[in-house]
Amino acid sequence: MLRWLVCFSLLVCVMSQTPRPCESPKAWEGDVHTFDESKKFRRNARITYDEENIRIREVEELAIGSKDDFFDVIRLYREGVEYRLNLRTKVCNVTTLTRHFVPIGFPPNANFSDSFVIGISGFQDEEVSAISFDGVFEGVQFYGIVTTPDCYPVHLTTQSQQFGLAQSQYYNIKAGIPDPNVFIPPPECTRK
């Protein structure tokens, strides 16, 4: 009888636990599609995320209105440098990073919003367990969805006076970094 009671109260504890804000795994690659309808801003990027070495590489297509451009961007936060190579013109800009590194995930004070299944419940290959959080971070309102329990990004909505309303979807994520050489700046960026 006592054992049952203990089991029961444990179960209740587990069931009533509110999911905590999480950070994404420290190394992965994935595609992100971002758009901001009001600014006619659209971005498709392949991200390599390396939190261990605080660096991010993005190969991106940026479209603002009818203007379309392609960039290879490497941000090395340890060195405080961004390399931005325009893949069309081959002009590379090397600039000092002004923003500090923000890990992908949720700040610790983010508020749990919901937990649900994306896709079809009970279909092993077609269901993804997800949780969502919202809040305000550095003046930006956010709502994000991540997979659970591993916290890979699925969706992010952000809204602020400065940047407007932007929506991002994440796809094709693979754990790990297959080629760390992607963080070596291209020759156009290091040529004197």
Q: Which residues bind ligand NAG (CB under 6 A)?
A: 84, 86, 93, 107, 109-111, 135-136
Nearest residue (CB) to ligand NAG, 30 versus 144: 144
**How many CA within 13 A on the CB side of residue 96?**
1
Rounded to whole angstroms, how far apart are CA atoms 32 and 40? Answer: 17
CB of 86 to ligand NAG, least distance (A): 4
Q: Any idea what DSSP says for residue 126?
A: G
CB of 111 to ligand NAG, least distance (A): 4
Nearest residue to 60 via CA among 70, 75, 51: 70
Cβ neighbour number for residue 55 with a 10 Å cutoff: 21
Nearest residue (CB) to ligand NAG, 51 versus 82: 82
CB of 21 to ligand NAG, least distance (A): 8
Q: Which residues contact 121 (CB under 8 A, 6 or more apart)?
A: 127
Nearest residue (CB) to ligand NAG, 91 versus 175: 91
Bridge-based pairing of strands 140-147 and 127-137 is antiparallel
CB of 7 to ligand NAG, least distance (A): 33
Nearest residue (CB) to ligand NAG, 18 versus 38: 18
